[in-house]
Amino acid sequence: MTTHLVWFRNDLRVHDNYALHAACRNPDAKVIGVFVVTPEQWRQHVMAPKQAEFIFQHVQALGHALAGRGIELHIRQVADFTASVAYIKAFCTEQNVDALFYNYQYEVNERARDAALEKALDVDVTVQGFDDSLLLAPGSVTTGNHEMYKVFTPFSKAFIRRLQEGLPECVPAPKTRGEVPFNEQFAFDVPLEKFDHEIFPVGEQEAIGMLRKFCQQPAADYPEQRDFPAIEGTSRLSPYLATGVLSPRQCLHRLLKEQPKALEGEAGATWLNELIWREFYRHLMVAYPKLCRHRPFIAWTDKVRWRGDDALLEAWQQGKTGYPIVDAAMRQLNQTGWMHNRLRMVVASFLVKDLLIDWRQGERYFMSQLIDGDLAANNGGWQWAASTGTDAAPYFRIFNPTTQGERFDADGDFIRQWLPELKAVPGKQIHSPWAWADKQKQTLDYPRPIVDHKQARLNTLAAYEAARK
């Protein structure tokens, strides 16, 4: 009997999974799956314990879903990517595997691992890889000179033209091939941390339900609501996309089913644009592998003289900067593993351009906390905020953290949720709590601002201008 092996990585689903679908095309083939845990690699990549737990629970859910379709999922732990190559090679021999199927990962280490495996496998094991985690394959959306776009807007326009010519196909879950048991007795030797199941319910069907609900009215309301953290105006689907519990094709097709004119710039277009930003950063990472190596896209920005101040960094990490919108956002991150996108920009700007701390420190801290940690999106977002990336905010664009709070959390509802020590500060005065407290001769259990924004702005401009010379 022919044996097909599916190597699951960041594609923890049975619906619209290109590798799984291809492995199951032959109804007579025996299909088995494998998921390999690599604690040392996860440690090097500073994976958040909440994300590890999210993966752990979705591997379990995947195992049950596959078992019900007659596909056994094997779960093994080895140290790192090098050891995973040796393990998969040995597993193919042990199971008499004829063909191996997997979905591409685009980071440098992952691509090197896959190349090493293809080289190591015997010629009698056929290997098939698929561009599954993107709507369009890297390198397929280029300029007239066949180069990767460096600016988002023309990339987005070209991307939408490609989608208008024909949508990428969603493939069905495999048909049932019988039933096999699933052994749940396995453990990850990695730090794990519980997450809130009400915010992020576990399971592929739960994720599909969240997607369907969002694509109805919320996707149409998204442009007006997405910037206000006190409103449930975003999809919160990012953890499911980052780990592959959902595919971007499922998101696109469901969006167009509910908002059929999204590709024409009407209702739903703003959220579609967020999916295209995700593609942009991943395409860039393939075109410019240095982005995986913590290098800035704009070379001269590596000459910025950052301030090495552990006390300021720690105050930012703990949400104790004295700027309420920054602190509320950081506490949301630390407690839930997720942060509202507008606030990701605000806190990143604050770290880099108020505290003058290297953006890579922030990028690393985010990865260590985020349940939706994704290298390309996280790096792209940080380089945008730090003005070091392609199509980034210009270096002289510096958010004022107080006015950002006044604009996007005017009544302080979000701030009060995460900073209960400020609950006595009335109305809009919560954005400058010490100004109120000093007038009222009150003492707050809250730090005074750790920097003066006006002076910090001048210091940052000087640091960037010195680096440009």
Tell me whether residue 445 is annotated as binding: no
Please enumerate, as own/partner, the contacts of 194-199 that have beta carbons within 8 Å and a separation of 24 or more.
194/50, 194/53, 195/50, 195/53, 195/54, 195/336, 195/337, 195/371, 196/336, 199/236, 199/336, 199/338
Tell me whether residue 8 is annotated as binding: no
Tell me whether residue 118 is annotated as binding: no
The strand ranges marked E within 115-240 are 126-130
**3-state DSSP call for residue 273?**
helix
Tell me whether residue 430 is annotated as binding: no
Tell me whether residue 349 is annotated as binding: no
How many residues belong to the chain?
469
Tell me whether residue 323 is annotated as binding: no
Q: How distant, in Å, are the alpha carbons of 26, 62, 184, 297, 376 from that of 20? A: 11, 12, 21, 36, 24
Tell me whether residue 398 is annotated as binding: no
Q: Which helix (H) or strand (E) holds 329?
A: helix 324-336
CA-CA distance, 94 to 102, in Å (whole number)?
19
Q: Any idea which residues carry the catalytic annotation?
A: 274, 277, 306, 341, 359, 382
Tell me whether residue 271 is annotated as binding: yes
Q: How distant, in Å, are the alpha carbons of 232, 306, 380 from that of 269? A: 19, 38, 21
| HSE, side-chain direction, 13 A CA sphere, residue 143 | 10
Closest CA to 138 of 35, 292, 5: 292
Tell me whether residue 84 is annotated as binding: no
Tell me whether residue 384 is annotated as binding: no
Tell me whether residue 278 is annotated as binding: yes
Tell me whether residue 161 is annotated as binding: no
Q: What is the dihedral of CA 228, 232, 238, 240, to 10 degrees?
A: 180
Tell me whether residue 224 is annotated as binding: no
* Cβ-Cβ contacts under 8 Å for 35 (sequence gap 6 or more): 7, 8, 9, 59, 62, 73, 74, 75, 76
Tell me whether residue 110 is annotated as binding: no
Tell me whether residue 236 is annotated as binding: yes
CA-CA distance, 387 to 398, in Å (whole number)?
10
> With b meaning 16 or more CB within 10 Å and e meaning fewer, what string describes 93-123?
eeeebbbbbbbbbbbebbeebbebbeeebee
Tell me whether residue 280 is annotated as binding: yes
- Phi and psi torsions of 31, nearest 5°: -115, 130
Closest CA to 59 of 204, 253, 228, 208: 204
CA-CA distance, 24 to 37, in Å (whole number)?
24
DSSP, residue by residue, 54-109: HHHHHHHHHHHHHHTTT-EEEEEE-SSHHHHHHHHHHHHHHTT-SEEEEE---SHH
Binding residues: 222, 234-238, 271, 274-281, 372-374
Which parts are annotated binding residues for FAD? Answer: 222, 234-238, 271, 274-281, 372-374
